[in-house]
């Protein structure tokens, strides 16, 4: 994947932070108005709608800001936190040796015979 220009990355980060602040301010304000009026909790609907929009924005933000360095750090982090690290190391070694046992079983009947 081609690395994203630094200015685009900065724009995406600023846009997402702005969206989080707007989400928080808007929903805190609407909830305060709802509590002050004492009516049934109508502020839930704008909270759900803006929450879905923020969630979608987060997914898009993460999809466009992932780079190779992040992937390597995440793989290393998961490997170090693994409860069965020896099993993962075994799989990695077998994959490097091109072990056929790691290939998906396409024809199960032939393997059983």
- Average pLDDT for 6-24: 88
Neighbour tally for 43: CB within 10 Å: 20
Domain that holds residue 41: 6-102
pLDDT at position 107 is 63
Query: What mean pLDDT is predicted for residues 8-24?
Result: 90
Q: How many domains does the chain divide into?
A: 1
Q: For residue range 52-110, what is the model confidence (pLDDT) as tens digits?
A: 999 999 998 888 888 788 888 888 888 777 667 777 778 778 878 877 776 666 665 55
If pLDDT is split at 50, 70 and 90, which confidence band does 113 have? low
Whether residue 14 is contained in a domain is answered as yes
Contact 9, 65 (CB under 8 A): yes
In a domain, 108, yes or no: no
Residue 27 has pLDDT above 80, yes or no: yes
45 located within any domain: yes
- 87 contacts: CB under 8 Å, gap ≥ 6: none
């Amino acid at each position: 994947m081609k690395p994203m220009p630094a200015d685009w990355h900065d724009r995406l980060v600023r846009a997402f932070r702005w969206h989080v602040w707007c989400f928080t301010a808007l929903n805190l304000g609407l909830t305060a108005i709802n509590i002050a009026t004492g009516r049934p909790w109508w502020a839930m609907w704008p909270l759900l709608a803006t929450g879905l929009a923020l969630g979608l924005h987060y997914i898009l933000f993460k999809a466009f800001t992932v780079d190779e360095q992040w992937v390597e750090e995440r793989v290393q982090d998961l490997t170090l936190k693994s409860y069965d690290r020896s099993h993962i190391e075994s799989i990695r070694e077998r994959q490097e040796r091109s072990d056929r046992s790691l290939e998906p079983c396409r024809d199960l009947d032939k393997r059983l015979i």
